[in-house]
Amino acid sequence: MAQAGSAEGSSMVQVLPGLYLGGWAEAGSALGPLVGSVLMVDTEEPEPAELGKRILHIPALDQPDTDLLSRLDECAAFLSAARRDGGGLAALVRCHAGVSRSVAVVTAYLMKTNNLTFEEAYAAVKAAKPDAKMNEGFEWQLKLYEAMGCKVDTTSAVYKQYRLQKVTEKFPELHSMPREVFAVDPTTVSQTLNSEALYRCRKCRRSLYRSSSILSHAEGNGPAAFARKRIPEPALLHADGQAKCTSYFIEPVQWMEPVLLGVMEGQLLCPKCTSKLGSFSWRGEQCSCGRWVTPAFQIHKSRVDEVQALPIYGRQTFKI
């Protein structure tokens, strides 16, 4: 197997049959003629030796807050097609140094195609390329990818929380929020077309959000997670002493938009009767169970009623 060095000491290595990993210098390496497809994870333009090859360019900086997660399925599809339809030519995944961005993409590809855990796939890449070391942000994103079953599911709570955290990182500079961040206001769609549980204001019965908007979280450490003055009352504890979750943490809903932009934290009020439902904070808030959630859009369970849809004779009725 041919290898080429670079200023950073990187070299092209074979990870799977027909799949190579390397840095920018490999575009003109001795192995170059054997490469038919190049997946660039870099901010730079293609090298002259790459012109004429099949190219997928993912503009990305090697920084922890760079979003690779949303592009991983696209990368996997490109690499699978390149290996399948390459006519004997290999696919190369490269970034500048060949140690972080490209490593993250190849690790995700192994996870998806070989049914490996993050740890197993990363270990396999490092065995082929000992200098491989993706940044901690990419590690976190690949663990989220694993949690979603190695598929970018934009409807999952995992992805919604990730997307909100990406918005939070840019919050001080935001002049508007991406529309996809907001769940549809349930009052704008027909309730008979959706079998999800609906949550309504306990005071005025205004529909607020659906069960798919709830972002679940692992329970925290209970009383041990709180300062002494904030230890929950015994009535708010499970039988084993763990604190109960007394709030729902949800994704933003369209009716919240006017109060969220440009404000780090505040109250969430019913858009109809203005009764207090909960609070929000882009910095995060602590659930009663002790878990810290960031960002936090918190609705107190005592302020809403859950309404279940029950199909009866081909129609749907709702039960509180």
pLDDT tens-place values along the chain, 320 residues long: 333 333 333 478 999 999 999 998 766 665 677 889 999 999 988 877 777 889 999 999 999 999 999 999 999 999 999 999 988 899 999 999 999 999 999 999 999 999 999 999 999 999 999 999 999 999 999 999 999 999 999 999 999 999 998 888 876 655 667 788 899 999 987 654 557 899 999 999 999 999 999 998 888 765 554 454 454 454 444 444 456 899 999 999 999 999 987 788 999 999 999 999 999 999 899 999 999 999 999 999 999 999 986 655 555 555 55
Q: Which of 75, 95, 270, 287 is catalytic?
A: 95
* Residue 92 to residue 109: CA distance in whole angstroms: 13
- pTM of this prediction exceeds 0.75: yes
Assess whether 95 carries a catalytic annotation. yes
Angle in degrees, CA 104, 45, 101, rounded to 5 = 10
**Beta strand 296-300 with 304-312: parallel, antiparallel or unpaired?**
unpaired
Contact 197, 306 (CB under 8 A): yes
Positions of CATH 2.170.150.20 in the chain: 179-319
Task: Give me the residue label for tokens 């490209």.
Answer: 102
From the candidate CATH numbers 3.30.530.20, 3.90.1300.10, 3.90.190.10, 3.40.50.1100, the one assigned to the domain spanning 13-152 = 3.90.190.10
Contact 128, 14 (CB under 8 A): yes
Positions of CATH 3.90.190.10 in the chain: 13-152
Query: What is the side-by-side strand order in the sheet with 276-281?
Result: 247-249, 296-300, 276-281, 265-269
AA identity, residue 111:
M
Contact 268, 303 (CB under 8 A): no
* Residue 248 to residue 214: CA distance in whole angstroms: 7
179-319 topology per CATH: 2.170.150
* Residue 56 to residue 38: CA distance in whole angstroms: 6
